[in-house]
Structure 1
Amino acid sequence: MEEYGSAKEREEGLAPYLSPLGAWGLAVGTAIGWGSFLFTTTHYLEKAGPIGSIIGMLIGMAIMLFICRNYHFLMNAFPSAGGVYSFIKHVFGYDRAFLSFWYVMLAYLAMLWANATAVPIFIRSFFGDALEIGYLYSIFGYKIYAGEVLITMAIILLTGVLCMKRERHAVKFATALTLTFTIGITAVSLAVGGMHLTEPAFTLDPKFIPSEDIFPQILAISLITPWAFIGFENISHSAREFKFSREHSFAVLAASVVTTTALYIFVILLSIGAYPADCTSWLDYLRKLAESNASIKVLPPFYVAYHYLGATGFAVLAVSLLALIITSLIGNTVALSRLFYQVAKDDVLPDRFGDLNARRNPEKAVFLIMIASVGVPLLGRTAVGWIVDVLVICAVIVYGLVSAAAFKLAGERGCRLERFTGLIGMIVMGALGLVQLFP
């Protein structure tokens, strides 16, 4: 592919620093967050059972590999900090690019806010009411405490300062944490499966939800595929910062999708590994949990980890959960800062947000993210949840636009493979969008 951008841009713009491992770490660390982990332990199983969930996830993985190819093609054609925004700008023009900017921004901000406000829930679940100090008010049924607000604000500011002043260290830290939760979840799952697979408590039954047709169960999981993987593409905003050839970007993206899928499947299987004596099956356990509104530490994967591996297995899983929260915070902050940097250079945002500091890092763009996020804890978890609910449709639109751009550009350049993957992406995302809008 041709080099993109002027010599001055390449000399004075964002500096290359991202290794293949670092890119993989950002991609996986952003794709898997608090919500996707918990959904895997409960929602997926309640919708389709273990086998239906696994089949649905594998279908989703296949879909996302097509999207990976489309991103790879466009990242090599337009290696810019804008990601989807830049792709659409050069293929379809500024109007559609501006629209895509809003969808991407909303998606990444929603993930950032969801994971930031998950920190006090994590602390509440594992350490009790330590932060329930200074009751302020309730909003939409969610109690707001000064202690939880302050710790969430501190996490947002700390993440922002780290990404502003020591961004390279932040990415290395995120990569280390991604390796931590990848190894942690994998180790616990394999230990439970390998050591206790023959025990009566370990069973796949019921494999699907009883008394319901199998196909709709699998389809239900496949429909939320974009939500399950949104964030893996965040490295498209760092395409100019790769220390490796962009020709290898498909391998990195594909590896992140496969890793994410494997971790989801491990958590699904782990969640049905055991259940209390007063429950007749893993499904009965989930339904009783839903009725009791129990804390996170008694959710299936934590119960199973403690049941088989004791406090050690429980602790490994808890550390893994905290690690994936932090990686999502860093990954979304890095991606958003690059997006804001690029749109500022195109005069969508004030020019100052397109400035780089001495380390060639968009420090002011990160500051903007901090300002936009620091007040979110005052809204409560319920209000943030409403924003997160739009993630599925945002992801569908973004992936659909990327596929359309790849399809059009591939036609102009005579690239048959990307013409095909772009077409498949458009068809699938169009169908998913219609189902989401008209269920």
Structure 2
Amino acid sequence: MAQDEQLKLEKSLSPAQVWALALGSIVGWGCFVLPGDMFLPQAGPLGTLIGFAVGAFLLCFVAVCYSYMIKYAPVAGGAFAYAYVGYGPTAAFICGWALVLGYIAIIGIDIAALALIFRFLFPGVFEFGPLYSIAGWEVYMGETMLMTGATLLFGWLNYRGVSFAGKLQVVLAFLLTVGIVSLFGGTASLETAHFSNLMPLFAEHRTMLSCVLLIFAISPFLFVGFDTVPQAAEEFSFDPARARNIMIIAILCGVVLYSLVTLAVAIAIPYPDMLAKMDALREAGGTAWATGEVAKLAFGKFGAIVLACAVMGAVCTGINGFYIATSRLLLSMARGGILPSWFGDIHPKYRSPYKAILFTIAIVLLTPFAGRSVVVWIVDMSSVGTGIGYLFSCLAARRVLLGSTDVTNRATRLFCCTVGILTSVMCIVLLLVPGSPAYIGVASRWCLVAWVAMGFFFYYSNRSEWAKLPESILRSRILGRSDIPVFFKSRDPRVGAEQHQGAGD
């Protein structure tokens, strides 16, 4: 692929659009479903809020590391490109493949959430044409048609270019924020709302520390949306140096919105009673959605409209944001020959990576037929994949800072990198080490094994192509320019042999 092809992505994203991209990708399906399904039952209100705060605070250090790398190499691909800068093509593939898993998983999760939303808003309307049952979740033809239509719609919007998708993201993020604030305000004004409803503050079957660690461990899943920003860096219409503040503000806004929804579910009535009611609904074969029940308590029938604004904003911004992130990541991997060049083609009219978008659509179209229970299995997989992406980005930022000569505030920057590295490692360890309070389930582990096996296939099927390319050509394809220094040992003795400039202010 010629270098000039890399420059065809349209530089049309404004700071507001990028912030909306990040926030909308952070606050998705999990914000509305997990309070009743996981947060309160497994961690309790205070355990959840502390876990949110700790995870968001530490992930801000990861975002700072990303901001260093965005300035250094403002190209599509994000952590994939940064892993290449620091550690070479094999590390870049591992990082990129892990992130593809995380990103596509989140699109699938948000698409699957549509079935739950419409079961609540329009009971029975889409539950026609029963097909089969998977892990206790009935799959209906009507719901598969609904989810398939949403998959194709957002794929088409992104196919036609990032400009319209970015504008849509701002509108959806506004609806999301207004809906959540209204939901919390209505719930807090209920006569039954009282702080005593938050007792017990931590899940009674866990220690306080394990409650916090459980939520912290899935922070990469909860706040993953901020790293859609570096994926779109090549399309910024502004100075990439502004990306740091955009990401940090998006993370902080995200933790506030997550906390408001969780508190709304917990404070309306004693939350153990709410959870018991949801268990009874499940046993009776009903749709158990604690956030939906709270909306009904707060607003009656009008609650469906308030919740619809928030949830549809969250789900649609998540779908839209991760379509952008996934397609740009696949584009960058194809540029380096690490994936087939087919993924790297850019539409001559819409200036979008349209074939990468078509591939994403094809994978996500499996979601409607999998059922919500199966899709939930990939939440943990998503956390593992994004945790790996965070780790490589922080390691690469550290290597660039150490290898550059014009760095200001080197000690402070290296401290941020160290905290980011430790945060990433802790998240991965908590998810993968047996005995951890956040150890992923058997089904998730097998799905992860299948993804790794698929990665081996792609890696070795294309390795002969990129391995024979001169380093300068590979660098030009991935980073957009051959003069951007890299910091790994190469078969080319001229690469990585000297100290470099370019990582400072």
TM-score by length of 1: 0.90
User: 1:325 maps to what in 2?
Assistant: 315
Q: Which residue of 2 aligns with 1:437?
A: 432
Structure 1 runs of 4+ aligned residues shifted over 6 Å read 294-298
Q: Give the counterpart of 1:254 among 248, 254, 257.
A: 248
Give the match's secondary structure for 1:272: helix
Contact 1:297–1:303 (Cα < 8 Å) also in 2 = no
Q: 1:27-426 alignment to 2 at 5 Å?
A: 27-193=22-188, 195-196=189-190, 203-210=197-204, 213-275=207-269, 281-293=270-282, 299-357=289-347, 358-413=349-404, 414=407, 415-426=410-421
Contact 1:196–1:202, Cα closer than 8 Å, also in 2: no
Deviates more, 1:266-275 or 1:106-115: 266-275
**Are the structure 2 counterparts of residues 260 and 248 from structure 1 closer, same or farther at C-alpha, using a change threshold of 3 Å?**
same
SS at match of 1:80: coil
Question: How many residues are matched?
Answer: 427
Q: 1:407 to 1:21 in 2, by over 3 A?
A: same
- 1:218 is aligned with what amino acid? V
Is the alpha carbon distance of 1:124 and 1:164 closer, same or farther for their aligned partners in structure 2, counting shifts above 3 Å? same
The offset of 1:58, in angstroms, is 0.9
**For 1:136, what is the secondary structure of its paired residue?**
strand
* Structure 2 residue aligned with 1:278: none
8 Å contact kept, 1:24–1:253: yes
Is the CA contact 1:61–1:261 (under 8 Å) kept in the aligned structure 2?
yes
| Residue equivalent to 1:13 | 8
Deviation at 1:387, TM superposition (A): 3.0
Give, in whole Å, the separation in 2 of the partners of 1:382 and 1:309.
29
Q: Is the 8 A contact 1:70 1:402 kept in 2?
A: yes
TM-score normalised per structure 2 = 0.79
Q: Provide the C-alpha distance between the structure 2 equivalents of 1:392 and 1:355, rounded to a whole number of angstroms.
A: 29
Structure 1: runs of 5 or more not aligned: 1-5, 276-280
Contact 2:192 2:268 (C-alpha < 8 Å) held by counterparts: no
C-alpha separation in 1, matches of 2:304 and 2:73: 45
Secondary structure of the equivalent of 2:131?
strand
Report the CA distance shift for 1:237/1:201 in structure 2 as closer, same or farther (over 3 A): closer
Partners of 1:90 and 1:265 lie apart in 2 by 37
Higher mean displacement: 182-191 or 25-34: 182-191
Say what the alpha-carbon RMSD is for the aligned residues.
2.4
Q: How far 1:303 moved relative to its partner?
A: 3.0
Q: Identity of counterpart residues, as a percentage?
A: 28
Secondary structure of 1:143 counterpart: strand
Give the secondary-structure state (helix, strand or coil) at the position aligned to 2:232: helix
Report how far residue 212 of structure 1 moved. 5.1
CA contact (8 A) 1:41 1:267 kept: no
SS in 1 for 2:370: helix
Contact 1:75 1:236 in 2 (8 A): yes
Displacement of 1:179 in angstroms is 1.2
Q: What is the letter of the counterpart of residue 180 of structure 2?
A: I
Instruction: Give unpaired runs (5+ residues) of structure 2.
Output: 437-505
Task: Label 1:199 to 1:149 Cα distance change in 2 as closer, same or farther (>3 A).
Answer: closer
Letter of the 1:317 partner, please give it: L
1:48-91: CA deviations, max 9, x gaps?
32222212211111111101101101111111111111000111
Read off the aligned partner of 1:310 and give its amino acid letter. Answer: G
Asked whether the 8 Å contact 1:88–1:97 carries over to 2, the reply is yes
C-alpha distance in structure 2 between counterparts of 1:121 and 1:72, whole Å: 36
Is the contact made by 1:202 and 1:272 (CA closer than 8 Å) also made in structure 2? no
Does the aligned pair in 2 maintain the 1:125–1:295 contact within 8 Å? no
Cα displacement (A) at 1:354? 1.8
